[in-house]
Structure 1
Amino acid sequence: MTQVFTGAEQGLALEVLNLATTPIAVFELRDDDENRLRFVAGNRRFAEIFDDSRLRSGRSIPRLLDSITRVVARMSASDEPASVVVPDEAGTGYLRIVLQMPERDESSGPRRIVAEFQRLDENESDWQDLRSQVRQLQDLADNSTALMYVKNPRGEYTIVNRYFASLFGRPASEILGKTDHDLFDATSADVYQEHDRTVLESETAREVEEPFSQMGGETDPDADRRWLSIKFPLLDDSGVPYALGAISTDITARKRAESAATQAMHEAERANRSKSAFLSRMSHELRTPLNAVLGFAQLLGESELAPEHRQNVSYILEAGQHLLTLVNDVLDISWLESGAPGITTEYLPASIPIHQALEIIRPLAKQHDIEIASDLHGAIDISLKADPKRLKQVFFNLLGNAIKFNRPHGAIRVSTKQMDGTLRYLITDTGNGIRPEEIDSLFAPFERLSNAVGIEGSGLGLALSRALVEEMGGRIGVLHTAPGEGTSFFVDLPIADADAAQVMPIAESDYEPGDERLLETARVVQIEDTPANLLLLQEVLTRMGVRDLHNAASGSEGLDLIRRVRPHAVFLDLNLRDMSGAEVIAELAKDGELRGIPIIILSADATPARMADLRSRGAFAYLTKPFDMRLLKSTLVNAVQVRS
């Protein structure tokens, strides 16, 4: 027993304590030491149970002192003795600690607490209940594959489970009573301590990610390991936190999986950006020469030609249109597969897209002696939320196939009907039908049916149609087909709610009428760096009646020209040798007098994202090469009307 008292009176007091048959200890509580309980002395019986040298040297028994401190915090000198039950140091039984706080003068120094320790008898119900509860809790903690631990408000570990000790290769006795700064590297310990402080101050549980650290400050070979820690305050009867509990789970594998998924997503996004850039470039490279081929062929077709030469021109136009259709379908399929926005939906009358497609296809049907009958009563007063141009493209593909695969002097029937919130379009032909084993491959890209020999086509039309319809929330398929019985295709689209019809825009024609005489006095600037396309548009505009046309082969030259002549409209290519068309628009937007000039984009880049971007920047219209001469003329007339 270490002697801690000096003087006859203190020695006599200690001797009195030593006469007691139960363990007794004296503690003091200093107000200027954050109310931290400090061991003063214990009698001989106390020394038989506890090593008082550990208590005095600071290597305290955390659970003992913390238990006493919690009780003392609620005591005053006038209180009756208080008690608390705790496990003994060996962990084999339980002690009841009876605490008393003698009265003292304000000048008598730190408050003293006398603690008497009574070992619970194994036959006592308190002992049995506590042992059962603690064993259950200990078994629960020790069989967990997560770290489970408790720290007192000073950050000292008071409880750790078996997994905690085994993971770090230290016995629990070397961990209890230590702080994070005693055990781990300073950086990790600071993180742990800050999280503990936040939980205790807020008195609420928190879920936090924490770095993994080896004990003893050793370098962790697995530096990216992480814990997910659930930290929560343990509250006494008065609601004051007396400790912090925590459960920490190793989430390294999950974090690595998330990192790999993020990396894969970034790679996919990069690949999509590269693909989109490639498609944009290919669109430009393929459609630019086609613009010249089809444009000059159309001009030749309008000239006085010998019959055999006119026939040759028709062959050029037919082949060019077929190639353009193939290019458009390939690019559309690629854009949709790469996740690029392929459609722009709006509310529209259900009968408009199919009606427009029928009007376009009727001359072709008449040329092939195919009768078309349509009944669109099922679509009356029905509205859809769809992309009108894309939906018309789908119907045009289906009607075109119904003509190509029909028998001589055949027929096509088009009808609509409502079906449980869905509008069904039905297109039936009287052709040879499809063999059952070929139906599954009907909508696959580049697949050609056995009965398609000698029939022009790329095998992309139905694949693209399915992708577009599904983008609009619908479905497309074959309702019925059999060899010799023809084929019925259906397109199902969800019907929009009744309120949508009230705000639905009125459908407009692709070619708005205008006063074409305005072109005779209009000043027009063309900015184009491809000589063939520059000459083509010049010839086309001249035939339309434009007399005041100015040409520029670069963006900077075009800007100077616009500032000088103040045109009524500008045709602008996007891929110029010195600057992009978007940069030209941005420069014009800086000048208040030039900002209102209508800019008509005329580009071989037909990507939907590019078109939407330029429109958002203030372009009046976006026309793609090869251009439709009627659409180009109506667009120019409307632009001049705006400026006049």
Structure 2
Amino acid sequence: MRKIQIQTALIALILLLIWWQAGLWYQSQLISDERAEVADHLASHGNSLATSISSRLDKLNGLHAFVQAEMGSSPELLNQRFSIFARNSYSEDSGIINLAIAPQGIFKHVYPLDAMQGMIGQSLFRDLSPSFRMDVEKAIETGDMVITPPHEMRRGGLGIVGRRAVLDNGSFWGIVSMTMDARKVLQSSGLNATSGDLNMALKDSRSHVFFGEESVFLSDPVIHRVLLPDSYWELAAVPVRGWAGSVQVPLRIAQMAGLIIIGLLVILYYLAASRQDFLSQMIREKTSDLEKELAERKRAEKALQERELHLRAIFEAAENVAFIIAEGKSSVPLILEFSPGAEKIFGYGREEVIGRSISILLSSGDQDKLAKIISRIRNESRLSGFASLVRKSEESFPAMCSLYPLLDETGEVYAALGVCIDITDQKRMEGELVQAKEAAEASSRAKAEFTANVSHEMRTPLNAVIGMTDLLLESDLDPVKRDYVRTIRNSGLSLLSIINEILDYSKIEARKMDIVEGAVNLQEILEAAMEQVAPRAAEKRLELAYILADDLPARIWGDGKRLSQILVNLLSNAIKFTESGEVTVWVDLDSEKKAYHFVVKDTGIGIPEDRMSRLFLSFSQVDTSLARRYDGTGLGLAISSKLVGLMGGRIWAESKINAGSQFHFTIPARMDDARLRAAEDQSSANGPDYSGLTGKRALLVSGIQSSRMMLASHLRSFGLIWEEAATGCEAAEKLEKSRFDVAIADSDIQEPGILEESLSRQDNLALPLIEVGFLGDKARFPAPRVSAFLAKPIRGEQLRGALLLIFGQKEGYAASQVPATQPEKSYSDYRILLAEDNPVNQKVALAMLKHLGYKADLAGNGREVLSSLEQKAYDVILMDIQMPEMDGLEATRFIRTRLPSASQPRIIAMTAFAMKGDREQCLAAGMDDYIGKPVKMEELKRVLERMGSSD
């Protein structure tokens, strides 16, 4: 076989060499034929060009004959007759630009005269270039026509000039000339630089290419010489694709045909030479395949036997139920095999069930599954599911069963393998798990109810403590007794704070704390949080301030209640561990403008580095010794961490011993929220009017930079212009140099006497002064000089109100901004019904209402409320939730469904319950508002006023 392949390869190589030589010869023949064809084409163009030039030169010869005949005429007569002659001979379309006669070499007769006026008077011997003068001299010497090579004309375009000398009895008389447009002459002869598949070019006898590309003459062109009267032009042409490219198509066809023929010849030779060997090889291969197939079949039969033995061993050893069934003659699945494990579980012997219906193993409730079993066996599909099986003892038990189709050698289903697992123990465990889950849920409900009851029971006495102390603080007490009452009230508030922390932590741990988002006024949240911690800060004389970045929006999207809770926790923590200095809140956007970044910074004792990891753990404090010195449950930071996480942010801390701490947290910024933009637009439309303050000049005096920054931010928002001073001396210098409309001074500045002295001067006597001090402080500056005293931390609206009062906007401000100290007279006429079953709570609520100027009737439960409404109409009902006989929710639903709309009162919930959903339940029942116990007098006052203003 190898010999045949070598012979075939040698023959193929010889044929390829012959094919290669034949291809080269054929290519040279094609190029030769192509050059002959191009030469014929070029001769045609050359002859056409020669004819075109000759026909125009005949007109020059005619002009020469005309001048010979008329040279004896006067110049005027000659000019007239020349005009007639030229008019008949001249045609711009034929490419003749002008005809001219130059007696003695001076142009005197030119046609057309209008276009060629400039030629008159030019000398052929003086005004022409040297090459043109040579042509003139040649024409005079020979007496023959001389053609100048094509050249660029002054008027533009390519020109050809023909000249012939006129002799008078052998003496030079003058020159006649004709100028032709070379391009029109060439066009009239049909010449184009790219004509079809040819590139053509022309050059004169001086080798100047004036038509086409010079590269044509460098590409082995076919050249045709165009003869002129005194010289010649050479017309050259080459194929556009070159000589080799122009013959590629026929050459490739011939080469491909040759290769096909060679390939067929080689294949035929190879097939003919190797036919016998090929057939022999095929016989050997087929024989080998048959031997392999027989060996493979023997191995498969052996493997099948071994597999059957293994399956039998597995079947026999299976502890679970295993059986083989097949469809019987009456379409009933019959048992073919029954494993020892099945014998043990069912109690039947193998001989007892072989050949019987599978129905003896199924409970009466699962007999309908027989049809499904038959269908699955027929469809070659697997069946799995739960079944109730029956032992020989007629005891039923649950099982998980699977049915697998068994295939014969042809791939047809002949039986099915069934496997069942007794799941009695699993079902028992599932039941136990369900019971455990129900017990856990019951325990959780019991804990929630216990927490709610404990909260209710603790808030009820706290309601009396805080309510009665509020009333006592409103009465005339001497300083010692007032201090005692304030101590009792603060202790009650501390206990309330602890209860709230425990309840919040319980909600968070039970995952029942919801985040309710909305548009939040950031400045109001900060000021409200600081107002809650202000009394404790004032006791330590700590400065409280907040700084908002300039690029922050006025409103952000988030949960205002939880944000306030986080800030109060962090501020309280900072104040607790800070004995002097300041606590400042900084708020800005992060670098990517995707989150609001809050920083609570203090100048306190700091936190050891090894304690930082415990900061946000539940019931954890920095140090046990500090726990004895500082109060607290250890839940505040843990609750804050959980709330920040629920809001989608993160919290962390930085601290150094004796250098203060910084607590950071972030919440997501949703600046593109449509709801936030709508709230912002509404706020802008209903915002306060600052027109009375715009342009006023203020002097801001404070030794605390953060305090100055916060006050400056307020003044900027009001439209005031201000200057800052850190000491009394610096403030006095500014008062001497500039005029101000108001001064705002901190009580604790350095050198206050210098400022007081400066304010006492004649030119500053009329300057209003707003003094800023801690809660409970008296004015440091003389009373007549102080126009207003504002307690720290100063709220924006508080400062704005004071400025409006100073600048004569008192009425407008009071009407829109200052809450009334007593209810409107119309409010005191309210008909109020108090629904409360606890005598202590009744006493506290009635006393508060009386102090606020309201009168109220009393009902001990829901049924008494309904009875009171039958006898009298009420404007407001203060409704407790937990009452005997009929609770507050049931009474509210009854009122909302039974009373006509004109008689419907406002219902305000007053409850000591504080668990998740309490407020929502009250509002869903039809109540208008909600007050949690212990009730604070200010909160009760605001709610009643809000009810009155909404009527």
Partner secondary structure for residue 664 of structure 2:
strand
Change (3 A) 1:244 1:621: farther
**Conserved in 2, the CA contact under 8 Å of 1:148 and 1:164?**
yes
Paired with 2:319 and 2:676, the residues of 1 have a C-alpha distance of 62
Residue 400 (str. 1) matches residue 572 (str. 2): yes
Paired with 1:596 and 1:227, the residues of 2 have a C-alpha distance of 64
Q: What's the CA shift for 1:297?
A: 0.7
Alignment equivalent of 1:490, drawn from 664, 689, 700:
664
Residue 425 (str. 1) matches residue 602 (str. 2): no
Partner secondary structure for residue 358 of structure 1:
helix
Change (3 A) 1:385 1:275: farther
Change (3 A) 1:415 1:211: same
Residue 459 of structure 2 corresponds to which residue in structure 1?
287
**Conserved in 1, the CA contact under 8 Å of 2:389 and 2:399?**
yes
Paired with 1:236 and 1:500, the residues of 2 have a C-alpha distance of 70
Residue 625 of structure 1 corresponds to which residue in structure 2?
933
Residue 553 (str. 1) matches residue 860 (str. 2): yes
Structure 1 residues 309-348: aligned runs within 5 Å: 309-337=481-509, 339=510, 341-348=512-519
Partner secondary structure for residue 496 of structure 2:
helix
AA aligned to 2:626 is N
Paired with 1:156 and 1:253, the residues of 2 have a C-alpha distance of 29
AA aligned to 2:512 is P
AA aligned to 1:219 is E
Paired with 1:596 and 1:523, the residues of 2 have a C-alpha distance of 13
Change (3 A) 1:372 1:239: farther
- Calculate the TM-score normalised by the size of structure 2: 0.48
**Conserved in 1, the CA contact under 8 Å of 2:832 and 2:875?**
yes
- Calculate the TM-score normalised by the size of structure 1: 0.69
Paired with 2:296 and 2:411, the residues of 1 have a C-alpha distance of 27
Partner secondary structure for residue 273 of structure 1:
helix
**Conserved in 1, the CA contact under 8 Å of 2:834 and 2:858?**
yes
Structure 1 residues 149-164: aligned runs within 5 Å: 149-151=323-325, 152=327, 153-159=331-337, 163-164=341-342
Partner secondary structure for residue 329 of structure 1:
helix
Q: What's the CA shift for 1:545?
A: 2.8
**Conserved in 2, the CA contact under 8 Å of 1:398 and 1:427?**
yes
Paired with 1:255 and 1:378, the residues of 2 have a C-alpha distance of 66
Q: What's the CA shift for 1:527?
A: 0.6
Residue 435 of structure 1 corresponds to which residue in structure 2?
608
Change (3 A) 1:128 1:233: same
**Conserved in 1, the CA contact under 8 Å of 2:911 and 2:931?**
yes
AA aligned to 1:623 is I
**Conserved in 2, the CA contact under 8 Å of 1:343 and 1:468?**
no
Paired with 1:608 and 1:125, the residues of 2 have a C-alpha distance of 76
Residue 50 of structure 1 corresponds to which residue in structure 2?
none
Residue 914 of structure 2 corresponds to which residue in structure 1?
606
Paired with 2:349 and 2:334, the residues of 1 have a C-alpha distance of 16
**Conserved in 1, the CA contact under 8 Å of 2:835 and 2:880?**
yes
**Conserved in 2, the CA contact under 8 Å of 1:234 and 1:243?**
yes
Q: What's the CA shift for 1:276?
A: 0.8
Q: What's the CA shift for 1:172?
A: 4.7
Structure 1 unaligned residues grouped into runs of 5+? 1-122
**Conserved in 2, the CA contact under 8 Å of 1:572 and 1:602?**
yes
Residue 839 of structure 2 corresponds to which residue in structure 1?
531
* Residues 115-162 of structure 1, C-alpha deviations (whole Å, 9 max, x = no match): xxxxxxxx9998975674575477456377765544324122235566
Residue 357 of structure 2 corresponds to which residue in structure 1?
179
**Conserved in 1, the CA contact under 8 Å of 2:366 and 2:387?**
no
Alignment equivalent of 1:457, drawn from 618, 629, 632:
632
Paired with 1:502 and 1:439, the residues of 2 have a C-alpha distance of 37
Structure 1 residues 33-432: aligned runs within 5 Å: 129=300, 132-133=303-304, 136=307, 139=310, 142=315, 147-151=321-325, 152=327, 153-159=331-337, 163-164=341-342, 167-168=345-346, 172-182=350-360, 184=361, 186-187=363-364, 190=367, 193=370, 196=373, 206-214=383-391, 216-219=392-395, 226-231=398-403, 246-252=418-424, 254-337=426-509, 339=510, 341-349=512-520, 351=522, 353-354=525-526, 356-362=528-534, 364-377=536-549, 380-381=552-553, 386-418=558-590, 421-432=594-605
AA aligned to 1:217 is S
* Residues 72-129 of structure 1, C-alpha deviations (whole Å, 9 max, x = no match): xxxxxxxxxxxxxxxxxxxxxxxxxxxxxxxxxxxxxxxxxxxxxxxxxxx9998975
Partner secondary structure for residue 406 of structure 1:
coil
AA aligned to 1:336 is I
Residue 564 (str. 1) matches residue 874 (str. 2): no
Paired with 2:358 and 2:434, the residues of 1 have a C-alpha distance of 33
Structure 1 range deviating more: 156-165 or 198-207 = 198-207
**Conserved in 2, the CA contact under 8 Å of 1:340 and 1:609?**
no
* Residues 457-496 of structure 1, C-alpha deviations (whole Å, 9 max, x = no match): 3333223323333333444332x12321212212233444
Residue 577 (str. 1) matches residue 884 (str. 2): yes
Paired with 1:382 and 1:265, the residues of 2 have a C-alpha distance of 48
* Residues 324-379 of structure 1, C-alpha deviations (whole Å, 9 max, x = no match): 11222222223333x16223421444836445423544564344322334333288
Higher helix share: 2
Change (3 A) 1:348 1:195: farther
Q: Specify which structure has the bigger relative contact order, considering alpha-carbon pairs within 8 angstroms and separated by 6 or more residues.
A: 1
Q: What's the CA shift for 1:497?
A: 7.6
**Conserved in 2, the CA contact under 8 Å of 1:165 and 1:171?**
yes
Partner secondary structure for residue 248 of structure 1:
strand
Partner secondary structure for residue 282 of structure 1:
helix
Q: Which has the larger radius of gyration?
A: 2
Change (3 A) 1:403 1:229: same
Change (3 A) 1:410 1:592: closer
Residue 60 of structure 1 corresponds to which residue in structure 2?
none
* Residues 408-454 of structure 1, C-alpha deviations (whole Å, 9 max, x = no match): 13443533442664443221211111223333443344444333543
Paired with 2:595 and 2:419, the residues of 1 have a C-alpha distance of 53
Change (3 A) 1:589 1:208: farther
Paired with 1:604 and 1:133, the residues of 2 have a C-alpha distance of 80
Partner secondary structure for residue 280 of structure 1:
helix
Structure 1 range deviating more: 293-302 or 382-391 = 382-391
**Conserved in 2, the CA contact under 8 Å of 1:415 and 1:425?**
yes
**Conserved in 1, the CA contact under 8 Å of 2:521 and 2:554?**
yes
Q: What's the CA shift for 1:613?
A: 1.9
Q: What's the CA shift for 1:304?
A: 1.5
Partner secondary structure for residue 590 of structure 1:
helix
Residue 540 (str. 1) matches residue 855 (str. 2): no
Structure 1 range deviating more: 489-498 or 317-326 = 489-498
Q: What's the CA shift for 1:390?
A: 2.2
Partner secondary structure for residue 900 of structure 2:
coil
Change (3 A) 1:526 1:250: same
Change (3 A) 1:189 1:535: closer
Indicate the RMSD between aligned Cα atoms, in angstroms.
Answer: 4.0
Q: What's the CA shift for 1:557?
A: 1.0
The number of residues matched between the two structures is 511
Change (3 A) 1:356 1:246: farther
Q: What's the CA shift for 1:300?
A: 0.9
Paired with 1:519 and 1:580, the residues of 2 have a C-alpha distance of 27
Paired with 1:378 and 1:476, the residues of 2 have a C-alpha distance of 23
Q: What's the CA shift for 1:204?
A: 6.5
Partner secondary structure for residue 181 of structure 1:
helix
Paired with 2:306 and 2:818, the residues of 1 have a C-alpha distance of 87
AA aligned to 2:598 is Y
**Conserved in 2, the CA contact under 8 Å of 1:554 and 1:578?**
yes
Paired with 2:353 and 2:309, the residues of 1 have a C-alpha distance of 17
Structure 2 unaligned residues grouped into runs of 5+? 1-293, 684-794, 796-816
Q: What's the CA shift for 1:581?
A: 1.4
**Conserved in 1, the CA contact under 8 Å of 2:516 and 2:558?**
yes
* Residues 155-201 of structure 1, C-alpha deviations (whole Å, 9 max, x = no match): 2223556654565465655433222333x364365375376368579
Paired with 2:944 and 2:403, the residues of 1 have a C-alpha distance of 69
